Amino acid sequence: MKLNVKYFGMIAEWAGSENGQLDFSGTSVVELRSEIEKRIPGLNSSSYQIAVNRVIATDEAIITLGDEIAILPPFAGG
Amino acid sequence: MSTEKKPKNVFVQGPITPEKIATSIAHHQVKTNIGGHDIFLGQVRADEINGKTVKAIDYEAYEEMANKKFHEIREAAFEKFDLTCMHIYHSLGRVNAGEICLFVFTSSAHRRECMEATRFLVEEIKANAPIFGKEVFEDETHVWKENK
């Protein structure tokens, strides 16, 4: 399935874009992690979280077509 | 009953001005059931990193998720503390060193509730709101900030 992925902060810099499309054949967040880490150099050695439909997702969470995916670097508000 | 519970946009473009803070305080003078206010102001610090001085922070956010998260944090605070009023504003875009980037304002009948609520809110915002900050140096190079 084709997933629309949003990138933020330093991860958007590494990806060269704030939005991307990813052809994803897996089902869980942990599979998405390894797929995205292959595409964005530096990501596997950094701390980041994945949000699915605007909620932080666990590695076991299931991804379905149409989900809103976001790759989030460490927070810095305040 | 509070009228502060509906989802709202907490983001303002650029720094939060002292005038906005003063006006916000003035608006509460009609609410005479309030006996105490507590305010937290986050200010951009001119940190020195590898010999260079931070002149500003450029803030960005995953706004849709952040507003949802702020709503959850507000609801949790209203649940936990007996508050009359609660206001939260956070900057987006450039905020220079010395300017205000976060304004948390709580009010209650007695001091303890608003003081504890403010601390809770600030810690929750720092840990859970998807806001990102680029620390910009005088030569316009940058590093990404990370909350400790």
- The CATH number assigned to the domain holding A10 equals 3.10.20.30
Range of the domain at A12: 2-72
Burial A40-67 (b: 16+ CB within 10 A, else e): beebeeeebebbbbeebbeeebebeeeb
Q: How many angstroms separate the CA of residue A31 from the nearest CA in chain B?
A: 23
Neighboring chain B residues of A72 at a CB cutoff of 8 Å: 62, 130, 132
Is the ipTM, as predicted for this complex, more than 0.85? yes
Written as six digits, the tokens of A47 are: 């701390």
Is A67 in CB contact (< 8 Å) with chain B? no
pLDDT at B6 over 70: no
Q: Residue ranges of the domains in chain B?
A: 11-144
B94-122 pLDDT, tens digit per residue, is 999 999 999 999 999 999 999 999 999 99
A20-73 pLDDT, tens digit per residue, is 999 999 999 999 999 999 999 889 999 999 999 999 999 999 999 999 999 999
Written as six digits, the tokens of B68 are: 């949802």
Q: Does domain B11-144 bear CATH number 3.90.1170.40? A: yes
| Alpha helices, DSSP H, located in chain B | 18-26, 63-80, 111-128
Number of domains in chain A: 1
**B145/B57 Cα distance (integer angstroms):** 9
Query: Least CB-CB distance to A54: which of B65, B102, B146?
Result: B65
Query: Least CB-CB distance to A76: which of B66, B128, B145?
Result: B145
Residue A25 is assigned to a structural domain of this protein: yes
pLDDT of residue B8: 76
Averaged pLDDT of chain B: 95
